Amino acid sequence: MDAENIMRIEPLKAPLDGAATVPGDKSISHRAVLFSAMAEGTSRLTGVLDSADVRSSIDVVTALGAKVNLEVGVDGSLSGGITGWGAEGPKQPDHPLDCGNSGTTARLLMGVVAPWPIKVEITGDESLKKRPMRRVIAPLMKMGVHFEPEAQENLPITEIGNPNLKAITYDAPMASAQLKTAVLLAGLGAEGETRVNEPALSRNHTELMLPEFGVDATSAYRSAMVQGPATLKASEIDVPGDPSSAAFLICAALLKRGSSIQVENVSLNAGRIGFVRTLERMGASIEVRHMGQEGREAYGIIEATYTPRLTGCEIPKQHIASVIDEIPVLALVAAHAHGRTVFRQGSELTKKESNRLDAIIEGLGLLGVDAWCENDDLFIDGQPNLVVPQGLTFDSRKDHRLAMTWSLVGLCGNTPVNIVDFDSVKVSFPQLLESFERLAEVGGTKRVESCFILDSMPLNRQNTLVAQCVHR
């Protein structure tokens, strides 16, 4: 094992306190970049997540002819303009389009390319090449898109667009915002109504954003529609903070004694804050405050306070899609809770950047927590007084959600832990550790101040109060 790929995570020296922001929402950032590239004119974007995944989307639209002028701001986000190809369509790229580790880029790209007479090879890194693509390829083929090889399940694959696509109504076999978006984007080049029906709710960022670009798109319960043909018009998009990133700060505050934080300017899209509802059911001290709308996306504040007693709960299959990206960190919280937590029908976890289902079971096993899978249901028996064993090394499997989850073991626990390939956090939350350090600095300052006040008190009283200060 390469020592250079191992990060040592030390316990925080103070509770988390104060306010924080998180990087721009990854799902919204991808769509803002891709839709701007498709649009007529120059779109203005702010708050775009600067991460490896979003950079993959920027790279592919640049290769297809969009003019991207995004710069890194003082807050680390990307802002600027993207001039799209509009009615002229994307140009024929002169090389394969490498999507890196970004499944969102690869799957949405298939819908972007679908209505145009170009031939594109889509590929990615070794991890992405293992992830399922047939779920997107199948409905696009029904619309008239050609793929080589025709029966291919994984990348690399060559897509041949078709300017004469057929509008369809597609009953998706699973709830997948990426599948839904790819079909809807292809439908923009077809005559008539293209509709996707889903067995459960998935993220609706696409349906909310397309009207901002002048597209006739509607969303109903488990159903979304676009009317084609349509050309997108330039827009202005301000990307709110990513709730999936916020979840790690929130869960850390719940687990770290004495903590109380608020995460500001975070997306409160109903399909994205399922983790909040799950934590509420576990008895967490957590609150959501709506602050406004950016376009059609709600944003606001999520507050969380250390909660000494958490209780296990059941997350039914119809709610899994709304928490799918947060299940690793929710599983860690469940490991500290009283009783059993069950995530129903979590098979989609096996098709992420890694097999997260196996990784969760393996990681919790290192902590001495019983976790197992039965018929795609994940079971976790919590240990309320969990003490982290010394000398643990967690394998992130180069998966950003796992790297962030296992980092909380070290940050909120009693002993350092090691994480292999921690750098994978750059996919969605490059400043994760810095955010924790800032919140702990505030918490540490407040502890010092409260102890300083005790200096003027009588000695016999001071000794008692100092002990309370140190141990609270």
The class (CATH top level) of 26-238 is alpha beta
Active-site residue 125, yes or no?
no
Residue 399's Cβ-count burial label (10 Å; 0-12, 13-18, 19+) is buried
Burial track 277-300 (b if 16+ CB lie within 10 A, e otherwise): bbbeebbbbbeeeeeeebbebbbb
Domain 3-23+240-444, classified CATH 3.65.10.10, yes or no: yes
Distance (Å, whole) CA 190 – CA 229: 5
Q: Indicate the pTM of the whole model.
A: 0.88
Tens digits of pLDDT across the chain (472 residues): 555 689 999 999 999 999 999 999 999 999 999 999 999 999 999 999 999 999 999 999 999 999 999 999 988 999 999 999 999 999 999 999 999 999 999 999 999 999 999 999 999 999 999 999 999 999 999 999 999 998 789 999 999 999 999 999 999 999 899 999 999 999 999 999 999 999 988 899 999 999 999 999 998 889 999 999 999 999 999 999 999 999 999 999 999 999 999 999 999 998 899 999 999 999 999 999 999 887 789 999 999 999 999 999 999 998 998 999 999 999 999 999 999 999 999 888 888 888 999 999 999 999 999 999 999 999 999 999 999 999 999 999 999 999 999 999 999 999 999 999 999 999 889 899 999 999 999 877 765 444 333 333 333 333 333 323 322 2
DSSP string, 195-234: EEE-SS----HHHHHGGGGT--EEEETTEEEEEES---B-
CA angle 20, 26, 30 (to 5 degrees): 145
Distance (Å, whole) CA 462 – CA 454: 6
Eight-state DSSP code of residue 94 = S
Yes or no: say if 234 and 40 are a contact pair by the CB < 8 Å rule.
yes
Q: Count of residues for the chain? A: 472
Of 53, 242, 325, 399, the catalytic one is 325
- In the chain, domain spans: 3-23+240-444, 26-238
Residue 453's Cβ-count burial label (10 Å; 0-12, 13-18, 19+) is exposed
- Same fold: 3-23+240-444 with 26-238: yes
